[in-house]
């Protein structure tokens, strides 16, 4: 029992050192002193580990060597998030929004969000506008864009590509290391012989599992954005061409201008009238006093 406890403590110490090196965490949280190694037997031949374990003579701390090149295959393919913004002038915004959904579906994509609404330029000029967000497989983006452009007249178009290759490789490497640590902890858990040992290993397992889920969530998000390009389409309708040649709008503007002018006059009189009354009274008093002096 005592032999197994010492073995478990030693393995936990080795794992803590590896965790600090793999995840670049705070060194103070996982550093070990020589006092923690004193009295611990040499378990370099322990069957619990398949890798070679050696001792650093300068610090007396057990370290484990791994072949970095063979542990992970380096990813050379660029990982890029593509986004396209486009403004189209269409005859009917509602019909165009439906057509965009059909185009996305034909390329195994989907509509993330869609909105069509009335836009008031004048009381007699009501047009519809719309905004459609599409998610389309990145390898089919060019073909989908060709069909989208046929729906109307292009007013503006821009595209961007965000390179996330470095983050993608880093996430995969860290995830691989954490999964190896989880496997080793499960092996150590099988060797635990007391409740305290089990609780300590399970606590460390919980931390590692939380880190794995966090990295996996971020990696899933990047994969989704990389695999599915984003296309934002803004839809507008052209100004209506009527038989009045704009006379109705001109008359409406003239009436509104007249009303605004009358309103301004009324407001001016309202401010000026009290001043005029006061000046009239003061002027009348001065004239009356001057006439009395002459008499």
| The pLDDT of residue 25 | 38
- Domain assignment of residue 275, given as a range: 247-295
Indicate whether 71 belongs to any domain: no
Domain C-terminal end among 214, 240, 266: 240
Mean pLDDT of 245-266: 76
C-alpha closest to that of 152 among 126, 184, 129: 129
Q: Residues of the chain with pLDDT > 90: what percent?
A: 45
Could you write out the DSSP letters of every residue in the chain?
-HHHHHHHHHHHHHHHHHHHHHHT--HHHH---HHHHTT----TT-TT--S-EEEETTTTEEEE---HHHH-PPP-S--EEEEEEEEEE-S-HHHHHHHHHHHHHHTT-EEEEEEEEEEEEETTEEEEEEEEEEEEEGGGHHHHHHHHHTTSEEEEEEEEEEE-HHHHHHHHHHHHHHHHHHHHHHHHHHH--SHHHHHHHHHHHHHHHHHHHHHHHHHHHHHHHHHEEEEEEEEE-PPP--TTTTHHHHHHHHHHHHHHHHHHHHHHHHHHHHHHHHHHHHHHHHHHHHHHHH-
Distance of CA 260 to the CA centre of its chain: 47
Domain C-terminal end among 194, 214, 240: 240
Each residue's pLDDT tens digit, 4-33: 555 655 566 555 555 555 544 343 433 333
Same domain, 89 and 208: yes
Same domain, 88 and 202: yes
177 or 241: which carries more pLDDT confidence?
177
Q: Return d(Cα 75, Cα 56) in angstroms, integer.
A: 32
Same domain, 13 and 109: no
Confidence tier at 291 by pLDDT (50, 70, 90): confident
- Determine which of 8-12, 111-115, 227-231 has the lowest per-residue pLDDT on average: 8-12
Q: Return d(Cα 273, Cα 60) in angstroms, integer.
A: 98
Each residue's pLDDT tens digit, 148-195: 999 999 999 999 999 999 999 999 999 999 999 999 999 988 888 888
Each residue's pLDDT tens digit, 38-60: 333 333 333 333 333 333 333 33
Same domain, 98 and 207: yes
How far apart, in Å, do the first and last CA atoms of the chain sit? 133
| The pLDDT of residue 263 | 84
Same domain, 58 and 182: no
Residue 152 to residues 100, 135, 157, 270: CA-CA distances in angstroms? 11, 20, 13, 54
Same domain, 164 and 133: yes
Same domain, 8 and 105: no
In this structure, are residues 40 and 62 in contact, taking their beta carbons and an 8 Å threshold? no
Indicate whether 259 belongs to any domain: yes
In this structure, are residues 62 and 18 in contact, taking their beta carbons and an 8 Å threshold? no
Domain C-terminal end among 240, 263, 281: 240
Give the total number of structural domains in the chain: 3
255 or 134: which carries more pLDDT confidence?
134
- The distance between the two most distant Cα atoms of the chain, rounded to a whole number of Å, is 135
Mean residue pLDDT across the chain: 76
The whole model's pTM is what? 0.55
Same domain, 233 and 96: yes
Same domain, 100 and 232: yes
Indicate whether 216 belongs to any domain: yes
Same domain, 88 and 231: yes
Q: Return d(Cα 132, Cα 232) in angstroms, integer.
A: 6
């Amino acid at each position: 029992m005592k032999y197994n406890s010492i073995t478990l403590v030693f393995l936990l110490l080795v794992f803590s050192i590896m965790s600090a090196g793999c995840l670049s965490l705070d060194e103070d949280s996982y550093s070990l002193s020589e006092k923690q190694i004193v009295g611990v037997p040499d378990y370099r031949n322990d069957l619990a580990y398949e890798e070679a374990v050696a001792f650093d003579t300068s610090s007396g701390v057990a370290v484990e060597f791994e072949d970095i090149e063979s542990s992970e295959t380096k990813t050379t393919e660029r990982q890029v998030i593509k986004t396209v913004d486009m403004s189209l002038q269409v005859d009917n915004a509602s019909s165009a929004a439906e057509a965009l959904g059909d185009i996305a579906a034909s390329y195994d994509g989907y509509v993330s969000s869609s909105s069509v609404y009335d836009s008031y330029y004048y009381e007699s000029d009501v047009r519809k506008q719309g905004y459609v967000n599409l998610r389309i497989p990145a390898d089919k983006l060019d073909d989908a864009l060709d069909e989208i452009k046929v729906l109307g007249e292009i007013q503006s178009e821009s595209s961007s590509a965000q390179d996330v290759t470095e983050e993608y490789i880093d996430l995969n490497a860290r995830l691989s290391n954490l999964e190896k640590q989880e496997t080793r902890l499960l092996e150590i858990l099988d060797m635990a012989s007391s409740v305290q040992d089990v609780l300590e290993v399970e606590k460390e397992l919980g931390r590692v599992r939380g880190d794995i889920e966090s990295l996996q969530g971020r990696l899933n998000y990047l994969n989704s954005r990389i695999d599915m390009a984003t296309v934002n389409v803004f839809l507008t309708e052209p100004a209506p061409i009527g038989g009045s040649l704009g006379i109705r709008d001109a008359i409406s503007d003239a009436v509104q201008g007249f009303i605004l002018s009358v309103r301004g006059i009324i407001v001016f009189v309202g401010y000026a009238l009290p001043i005029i009354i006061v000046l009239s009274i003061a002027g009348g008093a001065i004239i009356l006093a001057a006439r009395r002096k002459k008499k």
